[in-house]
Amino acid sequence: MARIFGFTSAALLATALIATPAAAGQKMLMLLSAPAAEAQAFNLVLANQIQRSGNAIHLLLCSEAGDMALKVAPAAATAPVTPQGMTVRSLLEGLIKQGATVQVCAIYLPNRKLQPDALMEGVSAAKPQDIAAMMVDPAVKVTGQ
């Protein structure tokens, strides 16, 4: 059931992004909390593509998706995902290298009894008021899985 939901969510996200493409220069807030590496990779591939087309990406990682942003990433984040053999971690690193803002949700670190220094370089903890402001800003396109 979770696999069907994850696939359906990913398909709906892809359809939404294709049906309403962002104009170059669009600001996008992508919320990612999918636990499966395949769903995470799919969303990160889309985020990288969107960013390469001239759009600003702000990626918010929550729940198990936040694990990929730890300095010591779990095996799932570093395992190759087919067909390209990329890893979730390498896709995240590429997104950061291109200038994306990447954050973990405000409750991610406290629920794991971790401090901000547990996060890889280029990732910080989000402030709820900042994310809420982006979500209601008509200039920001919000997507999520």
Note the pLDDT tens digit of each residue in 1-15.
Answer: 444 444 444 444 444
Res 93: pLDDT: 96
> pLDDT tens-digit profile of 101-140?
999 999 999 999 999 999 999 999 999 999 999 999 999 9
Write down the pTM of the prediction: 0.83
Res 84: pLDDT: 79
Q: What is the DSSP string of 50-103?
A: HHHTT-EEEEEE-GGGGGGGBSS--HHHHS-BTTTTB-HHHHHHHHHHTT-EEE
Evaluate whether 119 touches 139 at the Cβ level (below 8 Å). Answer: no
Q: Kindly list the domain boundaries of the chain, sorted by start residue.
A: 2-11+26-144
Q: Alpha-carbon distance 61 to 2, whole Å?
A: 19
Residues 6+ apart with CB under 8 A from 123: 61, 69, 96, 102, 103, 104
Q: Alpha-carbon distance 98 to 44, whole Å?
A: 12
> pLDDT tens-digit profile of 38-59?
999 999 999 999 999 999 999 9
On the question of pLDDT at 73 being above 60, the answer is yes
What average pLDDT score do residues 25-40 get? Answer: 94
CATH code for the part of the protein at 2-11+26-144 = 3.40.1260.10
